[in-house]
Amino acid sequence: MAYRRLLLPLTGTASGEAALATALIAARAWGAHVHCLHVRVDARDVAPLAGEGLSGAMIEEMMAATERESGERADRVKALFDRFTAGLGGVTLADNPDTALKTEGPTLSFESIPGREEDVVAQQSRLYDMAVVPHPEAGEDVSSSDALHAILFDSGRPVLIAPRVAPADIGTRVCVAWNGTAESAAAVAAALPWLHKASAVRILASDEYQRRGPKAEGIQAYLRWHGIQAEIVPFKPVTREVGAGLLGATRDFGADLLTMGAYSHSRLRQLILGGVTRHVLENAEIPVMMCR
């Protein structure tokens, strides 16, 4: 079992370099290909949003400004990719993700196309084993990360959220956040290659985190059938925050990967009231693999 094709939506430059480094660590581990995809805003999508009361000249001016800003952003993202890949050892640059298979070892490619980012990213992710996304910046509302949520809700694929600072390694010590939900079960299934590769695996469970479904002992037995030995360690919320308690438990274990289900409650409820998913997305300092 291995991850062979990884998609990295490069939405900007703020966390792009750490995401590139995180994706490359995964690619080296699995001999995989990383396809970096930047989706430019299509100026034609602006016109329907302009509304009534604007003249044709005003709409054309808006479209021209959008085209200009989109092009400048695309140039910055491509420059980031070029800087990152300059002088990389043991990595081959490919023109096309579909032909990169002819090359041994990790490979990278870049593509910039126009479209609606959430649609393009969700659809393209379905052709990859996993998507790697940049960490939502602290100054941004995590709920506005269109690429992240598009993949979680509309791709059927797992997402690896890169930390703000690239890790030294991924998947040597793995924590499984278990709460009995379908989402956490999907996350375990998607993480099986990492779990097989890990030197130590810990299942983190909590009464406050548990939902209707099998307890931690059930997933422990499931993993044994896959030849994976994992200990169960309960954790407690920190100042009533389940997410803070979960991240504290991963730090105590020295984990370099956390896998968990995303949005066991609705996204709207977590947006309004907060939640474990939201807290982890905003505060995790290690790569987090999520499934919805």
Domain 5-161: CATH superfamily, name plus number: HUPs (3.40.50.620)
pLDDT of residue 141: 45
Range 173-291 has CATH code 3.40.50.620:
yes
The per-residue pLDDT of the chain, averaged, comes to 88
* Whether the domain at 5-161 and the domain at 173-291 fall into the same CATH topology: yes
Query: What residues are paired with 7 via a beta bridge?
Result: 35, 131
Asked whether residue 41 carries a pLDDT value surpassing 50, the answer given is yes
pLDDT digits (tens, 9 = 90+) for 220-267: 999 999 999 999 999 999 988 999 999 999 999 999 999 999 986 665
CB 150, CB 9: distance < 8 Å: no
Separation CA 186–CA 155 (nearest Å): 13
**How confident is the model over 137-145, as a mean pLDDT?**
52
Using the 8-state DSSP alphabet, how is residue 50 labeled?
Answer: H
Asked whether residue 206 carries a pLDDT value surpassing 90, the answer given is yes
**How confident is the model over 11-36, as a mean pLDDT?**
93
Asked whether residue 181 carries a pLDDT value surpassing 90, the answer given is yes
More confident residue, 124 or 13: 124
CB 280, CB 175: distance < 8 Å: no
Q: With b meaning 16 or more CB within 10 Å and e meaning fewer, what string describes 92-122?
A: eebeebeebeeeeebbbbbebeeeebbebbb
Q: Which of 171, 177, 132 minimizes the C-alpha distance to 151?
A: 132
The whole-model pTM stands at 0.90
- State the CB neighbour count (10 A cutoff) for residue 202: 19
Asked whether residue 182 carries a pLDDT value surpassing 60, the answer given is yes
CB 169, CB 25: distance < 8 Å: yes
pLDDT of residue 142: 44
pLDDT of residue 50: 53
Question: For residue 69, what are the CA distances in angstroms to 23, 65, 75?
Answer: 27, 6, 10
pLDDT of residue 49: 53
Separation CA 229–CA 32 (nearest Å): 26
Asked whether residue 47 carries a pLDDT value surpassing 60, the answer given is no
Q: Which of 284, 202, 190, 291 minimizes the C-alpha distance to 243?
A: 284
Separation CA 238–CA 245 (nearest Å): 5
pLDDT digits (tens, 9 = 90+) for 59-113: 677 767 767 788 888 999 999 999 999 988 889 999 888 877 767 789 999 999 9
Domain spans in the chain, listed from the N-terminal domain onward = 5-161, 173-291
pLDDT of residue 143: 38
Highest mean pLDDT range out of 100-114, 127-141, 146-160, 261-275?
A: 146-160
- First vs last Cα of the chain: how many Å apart? 21
CB 35, CB 64: distance < 8 Å: no
More confident residue, 270 or 83: 83
**How confident is the model over 16-45, as a mean pLDDT?**
91
